Amino acid sequence: MRANGGGSIIGMSSGAGAFPHRFLWAYGASKAGIDMLCKSAADELGVDGIRVNSVQPGIVDDELMEFITAGGALLDNYIANMPIARVGTVEDIAEAVRFLAGPESSWITGVNLPIDGGHHLRSGANYELLFG
């Protein structure tokens, strides 16, 4: 990237890296690490025209999250804690990543961008609902 005059690095994080989710402490710690890595790298690499950001996807309707998005108490809990009360789509995440990778965001670096329907404004999901 340096040789080409810059570029964009985008880390895949999670809201679990920004606020606690019960039973997901190791996952949350790893995602917090990605967010800080991106911020530190953004500071260091900006001089070379390299932008570094991360995205924090919320609950998305994909195979990985099917155990939640198929319905039930945990999905209801997620939706109740989202100002934009719907499950996200893969396209929602892809469009944000495309924006951060493209020239439209040429002056954006060091950002951890929640893409979660506002879920980050409220409490984390209650994963205890999976056990009861």
Among all residues, which ones are annotated catalytic?
A: 27
- Closest by alpha carbon to 54, among 35, 72, 73? 35
DSSP 3-state assignment of 68? helix
Do 34 and 12 touch, CB atoms closer than 8 A?
Answer: yes
Do 89 and 116 touch, CB atoms closer than 8 A?
Answer: no
